[in-house]
Structure 1
Amino acid sequence: MTLFASRPQAAIADAFSIQYRVKLTDPHAHVFEVTLTIERPDPAGQTLALPKWIPGSYLIRDFAKHLNRLSARTHDARPLAITPLDAAHWQIEPTEGPVEVRYQVYAWDLSVRGAHFDATHAFFNGTSVFLAVEGQRDQPVEVILEPGQQAFQSDWQVATTLPALATNAQGFGRFQARNYWDLIEYPVEIGTFQCLEFEACGIAHQAVFTGKIEWDRVDTEQLKADLTRICETELTLFGTPWPIERYLFQVMVTASDYGGLEHLDSTALMISRDDLPYLGRKTVYPDAYLNFLELCSHEYFHTWNVKRIQPQVYQRPSLTEPVYTRQLWWFEGITSFYDLNILWRAGILSAEQYLTRLSKEMTKVYRLPGRFQQSVAESSVLTWTKFYQQDENAPNAIVNYYTKGALIALGLDLTLRRDTQGKLSLDDVLLALWRDYGRTGAGLGEGEIEQVCERVSGLDLSDFFARYLDGTEDLPFEALFASVGIEFRLRAPSHLKDMGGHLGDEDDLEAPFEAPLVLGANFVQTEHHTLKVRHIWQEQAAVNAGLAPNDELIALNGFKIESLSRLETYLSRHQPGDTLSCHYFRRDELHTTDLTLMPPPQDRVSLRYHDSNDQPSEEWTPWPMRSRN
């Protein structure tokens, strides 16, 4: 196995004035030991800073809370005073000549955002480990990775796209970065892992998998083929010259995690081991595996849309204070539209399967009343608080700029196709942004994306953006889908876990099915065999009865309700308008209330062909799509 880290590249600088040495000191204490050498510190007193947030994840995380034993000394070992200025800044006393700063990083955050280190592996993002030298962030830096001394670490290897200068067979050694902002774009994974290698459009790609996996049961050939198709589809969409020379998927496999974070030429992912494609599975593409592929598609798409096409405010931020933009509807929403669309373009999903998954994605928006309370533009600006710090009232108060942003992308694509008679699509806007901003490095100002949409299409889209981006209206999907031969409709759920999609003949308007009664609440099963309320929907049965988040439902009309299936069975015996006595615990207090049942809401999305008797041919597409070289 040949890893990227073992492929030395030409030196960026003849000599480095800033050097970081990271040593894997103690996996049992979860400690990295870092030595920062500054050859030319500020003679007035050098200021250091550690980021409070990481690009791509918009929450103040205060990584400095994991930094310990910070000290400084001169090149001849004379101690220097180092004073905290605030939660993220420190100042070293004035001195002449090189300064050495030492500190430890406690690494026990098993996520794609932080740092984690134990006897199974080591992983870190630069924002958690590398103190920035203020006033010198533009300077090239050298990084030295040192292995630990534990016996089980003897066969550990390094997987990173951090440019190497000189490394050993395991990938440890000297690396470099052009500047501090470049440095934090290369997460590092160290350990024993499974590795897939493949080429996409002639570019070397690797996927390394860390965690406990029955690798001999994984269908690695299918996985390699699907990742290749996804990457080649996206590379072909944007066209040459490619923005990357290599790419690395760093995948941490656990029991139930899911998420990803994009970087310049790599991505850090976390998935459940159930998301992998196993040999002997009943279908080639079970939903869990498709979720993983969609995650890969999403983060890979960020190679262009976010990491290179980006808002001005995201270009070289200090990372110690929030930055605000209303543009996340594009950077996350449009990416969320394409991540699924790419699976169809790549031939992984059929047209019918694509419409089914698209229906379910749309249902996530239509189920939440918060879409009428907050615009997507406002959701973007307030991501630091309302979106990344959601409370139990979130479904009623906020909208998700990922999912609703994807709907705006879908609506914009259909609008462009309809109003230009099929001559233009969202692809044309995307490629214009890539040409004029991504390739040039120019940042996007507020409102500039909307201007590009109008300039490329020649259409007046001011009403579209006023109503659906800055406003809270639902997009006119019935008319938009009709323009491409697809029927869009909202229906009631067929069961409590129904997340949307076409049901078949019973979904016909002339043959309504019997929908289950719902209470307007999300429940989670407790160890006490009760149902705990997680979220409450406003103006539905549960909230009208006085139920609240964290209440435990005990019984209805004197009958114990211990599971969702039991709840659904019991409700099936009743009709809208029936009033049930409801017993529940709030904290340790038993309460009783009357709960009046209401008709199920029409909030599940169904997409189907206008003539349900027609089956699409192999050449049929949901609507015309074009790829560009």
Structure 2
Amino acid sequence: MLNYEITPSPLAHQWHITLSFTRESAQTLEFSLPNWVPGSYLIRDFSRYITALSSTCNDAPAELVQLDKNTWQAAAQAGEWRIDYTIYAFDLSVRGSFLNTERGFFDGACLFLKVKGSEQQPHRLRLSGLPAHWRTATAMPQTAPDVFQTASYAEFIDHPFELGRIEFLDFTAVGIPHRIALSGYYPAFDRARLTADIKKICETELAMFLPAPAPFAEYLFMLHVGDDLYGGLEHTASTALLADRHSLPSENMQEADDAYTQLLGLFSHEYFHAWNVKSIKPAAFAPYDLDRENYTEQLWAFEGITSYYDDLFLARSRTISPEAYLKLLAQTLTRVQRGKGRLKQTLAQSSLTAWNKFYKQDENSPNAIVSYYQKGALAALCLDLLIRQKSNGRHSLDTVMQQHYRDWLATRRGIPEQQWQVRCQAITGLDLNDFFQTALYSTRDLPLAETLATAGVRLTWHALPRSHNGGLTNDETAVQPATDLGARFKQNPNHALLTHVFNGGSAENAGLSPQDKIIAVNGYACTDLAAQFGRLKNGERAQIHFFRSGVLLNTVITAQTAEADTALLEITGRDLLERWLFGE
């Protein structure tokens, strides 16, 4: 048994941790802290937050030798070991640890040392010294007040904790207890609406895999709300979520607004991960090696397919309308189409290089990479509709996911590289090689218009202002083709700061670069660059004054017509659409 005791020091934002265990034989002791957390594919070097570390054996000091950035070793000695260490905690995210006088949160991967050779022993955690009014939310099995235990280290770090002022909202879905642990400061909102909508989403996702058992006996959503927050990280029986406080449903809300819809999608996405990546997973993750990168070409299948289903389940559960779903889909289509990186990086490459490209984006990323989340979702959409069409409705992507999950229940093994596609074809009995070659291993555009047409939806592309993010066909189709700056920027009161410059656009052709501060357009102060540039006609030239590295420069920019990269969708067959969304 490995025993961990954690004590908070909120004023200093520090966790004090004691790890104790008995070593019966005189073997070299080696222990380490993970370098990354499952579900977030970036080396985060959690050991950098350790501010103190010491050890004793049989109450006598034991010297530690650091082998590398996250690994330590002690001389071979049997007896009662104790390791004391302190971790600085001020990371307001779902993948780290945070502590102040109002709240505590931690993901075990960034806090708990792993003892080499003892990973399969029981691990026990005791919380001590918590403020009297704090409450605790976690899915880790509890054995006594403030005492929790798992059967292994992998389980131990798969249960994050939320501590502090917490409101609990409970419901049951398909006979399984669910709980929302809500923390932070938030205005009055419709608790019944939130609980009912999340319940419908959970029941819809659970129903997809029935009669196979769920991968959890109960489930916990830990939702912390604050100012301009967003994020989520999946775990087998819980998820940690961050959201803006104003995304909670107001008490008089009718149709879900954009902020609430985004919140529902976050719940839906992380919940589906309990099946897709926490259960079904790449062989490269079975087991995770948290000391180094774990490479796979399959993130498109585990994040992309999850991103396809997250919004689809909102429609399937009828928490949003079919029209609202198509609006979300049009926005995803537009985001992917506007990225030049889709012409340079394949989905397989995007998955493999997540560690050093997707999670380390810079000002050139829109020109160089494609998102395995967003384009992966569109590939999943095409695959779903293609399977439905080729099988005359006998199969769908649901069929494939159900069989993948049954296979995982039977073997508990990950899927080897390129075998997801092989298994998909075996499950459906269809030849999908050409589709997979195009979707995963080429930069050719996906057959989106053709496949959506089979679901009663017409896709057309329009040259609309960049402020238009895509949507349903309506009067906006009459808008004249807009000009496009070819850049992203942050508008400030007296200048516009360029953040990204797109290949081949007006800004790049004028010699503008990221971090340029545009202060004037045709001699007038740059107080609204979008409006000022938007008034230019195609081919019209404008004088631009800007600061670069503190030096005033100027250039002439020629307005170019926006590309036809804004997606508008139109329902052409309501019966086909509802058959796709609802199985009707």
User: What is the rounded CA distance, in whole Å, between the counterparts of 1:154 and 1:435 in structure 2?
Assistant: 45
Within the candidate set 321, 335, 339, 1:368 is matched to 339
Give the drift of 1:41. 6.4
Within the candidate set 168, 172, 176, 1:203 is matched to 176
Q: Secondary structure at the match of 1:514?
A: coil
User: What is the rounded CA distance, in whole Å, between the counterparts of 2:484 and 2:402 in structure 1?
Assistant: 44
Q: Secondary structure at the match of 1:380?
A: helix
User: What is the rounded CA distance, in whole Å, between the counterparts of 2:57 and 2:354 in structure 1?
Assistant: 43
Residues 153-172 of structure 1: per-residue CA shift (max 9 Å, x gap): 211111111111111xxxx2
Instruction: Kindly indicate whether residue 444 of structure 2 is the aligned counterpart of residue 473 of structure 1.
Output: yes
User: What is the rounded CA distance, in whole Å, between the counterparts of 2:168 and 2:534 in structure 1?
Assistant: 50
Which letter maps to 1:280? N
User: What is the rounded CA distance, in whole Å, between the counterparts of 2:332 and 2:132 in structure 1?
Assistant: 45
Instruction: Kindly indicate whether residue 523 of structure 2 is the aligned counterpart of residue 523 of structure 1.
Output: no
Within the candidate set 26, 51, 76, 1:94 is matched to 76
- Tell me which residue corresponds to 1:158: 136
Residues 271-322 of structure 1: per-residue CA shift (max 9 Å, x gap): 01111112234x4301000000000000000010010001111122230111
Give the drift of 1:505. 3.7
TM-score calculated relative to the size of structure 2: 0.97
User: What is the rounded CA distance, in whole Å, between the counterparts of 1:573 and 1:307 in structure 2?
Assistant: 50
Instruction: Kindly indicate whether residue 17 of structure 2 is the aligned counterpart of residue 34 of structure 1.
Output: yes
User: What is the rounded CA distance, in whole Å, between the counterparts of 1:419 and 1:384 in structure 2?
Assistant: 36
Residues 503-529 of structure 1: per-residue CA shift (max 9 Å, x gap): 41442xxxx421331111011123x52
Give the drift of 1:595. 0.6
Within the candidate set 535, 548, 552, 2:517 is matched to 552
Number of residue pairs aligned between Structure 1 and Structure 2: 583
Instruction: Kindly indicate whether residue 349 of structure 2 is the aligned counterpart of residue 392 of structure 1.
Output: no
Give the drift of 1:243. 1.8
Residues 153-198 of structure 1: per-residue CA shift (max 9 Å, x gap): 211111111111111xxxx2x2111111010000011111111111
Give the drift of 1:202. 1.2
Residues 580-622 of structure 1: per-residue CA shift (max 9 Å, x gap): 11111112111111111111110011111238xxxx58x9616
Give the drift of 1:626. 3.8
What stretches of structure 1 move > 6 A for 4+ residues in a row? Answer: none
Work out whether residues 316 and 581 of structure 2, in 8 Å CA contact, stay in contact via their aligned partners in 1: no
Instruction: Kindly indicate whether residue 330 of structure 2 is the aligned counterpart of residue 359 of structure 1.
Output: yes
Work out whether residues 123 and 190 of structure 1, in 8 Å CA contact, stay in contact via their aligned partners in 2: yes
User: What is the rounded CA distance, in whole Å, between the counterparts of 2:7 and 2:404 in structure 1?
Assistant: 42
Q: Secondary structure at the match of 2:271?
A: helix
- Tell me which residue corresponds to 2:541: 579
- Tell me which residue corresponds to 1:607: 569
- Tell me which residue corresponds to 1:329: 300
Give the drift of 1:452. 1.1
Work out whether residues 304 and 438 of structure 1, in 8 Å CA contact, stay in contact via their aligned partners in 2: no
Work out whether residues 485 and 533 of structure 2, in 8 Å CA contact, stay in contact via their aligned partners in 1: no
Residues 246-290 of structure 1: per-residue CA shift (max 9 Å, x gap): 111111111001000000100000001111112234x43010000
User: What is the rounded CA distance, in whole Å, between the counterparts of 1:227 and 1:573 in structure 2?
Assistant: 44
User: What is the rounded CA distance, in whole Å, between the counterparts of 2:210 and 2:514 in structure 1?
Assistant: 49
Judged with a 3 Å threshold, the aligned counterparts in structure 2 of structure 1 residues 68 and 439 are, in CA distance, closer, same or farther, namely farther
Q: Secondary structure at the match of 1:621?
A: helix
Q: Report matched runs for 1:98-497 at 5 Å.
A: 98-148=80-130, 153-167=131-145, 172=146, 174-214=147-187, 217-240=188-211, 241-281=213-253, 283-438=254-409, 440-493=411-464, 495-497=465-467
Work out whether residues 41 and 99 of structure 1, in 8 Å CA contact, stay in contact via their aligned partners in 2: no
Which letter maps to 1:67? I
Which letter maps to 1:562? T
Q: Report matched runs for 1:606-625 at 5 Å.
A: 606-610=568-572, 616=574, 621=578, 623=580, 625=582
Work out whether residues 308 and 439 of structure 1, in 8 Å CA contact, stay in contact via their aligned partners in 2: no
Instruction: Kindly indicate whether residue 34 of structure 2 is the aligned counterpart of residue 51 of structure 1.
Output: yes
Please, which moves more after superposition, 63-72 or 401-410? 63-72
Residues 544-592 of structure 1: per-residue CA shift (max 9 Å, x gap): 000111111112211222124xx32x33443111111111111211111
- Tell me which residue corresponds to 1:541: 506
Give the drift of 1:446. 0.2
Q: Secondary structure at the match of 2:315?
A: helix
Which letter maps to 1:504? N
- Tell me which residue corresponds to 2:4: 20
TM-score calculated relative to the size of structure 1: 0.90
Judged with a 3 Å threshold, the aligned counterparts in structure 2 of structure 1 residues 506 and 100 are, in CA distance, closer, same or farther, namely closer
Identity %: 39
Q: Secondary structure at the match of 1:468?
A: helix
Residues 437-480 of structure 1: per-residue CA shift (max 9 Å, x gap): 24531111001100011112222211111111111111112221
Residues 98-129 of structure 1: per-residue CA shift (max 9 Å, x gap): 21111111111111000001101111111111
Residues 11-30 of structure 1: per-residue CA shift (max 9 Å, x gap): xxxxx2x1111112x10001
User: What is the rounded CA distance, in whole Å, between the counterparts of 1:572 and 1:55 in structure 2?
Assistant: 44
- Tell me which residue corresponds to 1:5: none
Residues 385-424 of structure 1: per-residue CA shift (max 9 Å, x gap): 0000001000000000000000100010111111112221
Instruction: Kindly indicate whether residue 561 of structure 2 is the aligned counterpart of residue 595 of structure 1.
Output: no
Which letter maps to 1:165? T
Work out whether residues 220 and 237 of structure 2, in 8 Å CA contact, stay in contact via their aligned partners in 1: yes
Q: Secondary structure at the match of 2:348?
A: helix
Q: Secondary structure at the match of 2:154?
A: helix
Work out whether residues 456 and 577 of structure 2, in 8 Å CA contact, stay in contact via their aligned partners in 1: no
Extract unaligned runs of 5+ from structure 1: 1-15
Q: Secondary structure at the match of 1:47?
A: strand
Judged with a 3 Å threshold, the aligned counterparts in structure 2 of structure 1 residues 581 and 624 are, in CA distance, closer, same or farther, namely closer
Which letter maps to 1:379? S
User: What is the rounded CA distance, in whole Å, between the counterparts of 1:140 and 1:312 in structure 2?
Assistant: 25
User: What is the rounded CA distance, in whole Å, between the counterparts of 1:231 and 1:206 in structure 2?
Assistant: 11
- Tell me which residue corresponds to 1:13: none
Q: Secondary structure at the match of 2:291?
A: coil
Work out whether residues 310 and 438 of structure 1, in 8 Å CA contact, stay in contact via their aligned partners in 2: no
Within the candidate set 469, 485, 495, 1:499 is matched to 469
Work out whether residues 37 and 95 of structure 2, in 8 Å CA contact, stay in contact via their aligned partners in 1: yes
User: What is the rounded CA distance, in whole Å, between the counterparts of 2:528 and 2:462 in structure 1?
Assistant: 25
Work out whether residues 351 and 622 of structure 1, in 8 Å CA contact, stay in contact via their aligned partners in 2: no
Give the drift of 1:91. 0.5
User: What is the rounded CA distance, in whole Å, between the counterparts of 2:233 and 2:534 in structure 1?
Assistant: 43
Residues 364-391 of structure 1: per-residue CA shift (max 9 Å, x gap): 1011010010001001110000000001
- Tell me which residue corresponds to 1:11: none
Work out whether residues 516 and 571 of structure 1, in 8 Å CA contact, stay in contact via their aligned partners in 2: no
User: What is the rounded CA distance, in whole Å, between the counterparts of 2:378 and 2:302 in structure 1?
Assistant: 13
Instruction: Kindly indicate whether residue 476 of structure 2 is the aligned counterpart of residue 514 of structure 1.
Output: no
Extract unaligned runs of 5+ from structure 2: none
Judged with a 3 Å threshold, the aligned counterparts in structure 2 of structure 1 residues 238 and 136 are, in CA distance, closer, same or farther, namely same
Please, which moves more after superposition, 177-186 or 431-440? 431-440
Residues 472-510 of structure 1: per-residue CA shift (max 9 Å, x gap): 1111122212222221111111x4411001241442xxx
User: What is the rounded CA distance, in whole Å, between the counterparts of 2:409 and 2:470 in structure 1?
Assistant: 36
Residues 47-83 of structure 1: per-residue CA shift (max 9 Å, x gap): 00100000000101100011122111113x1100011
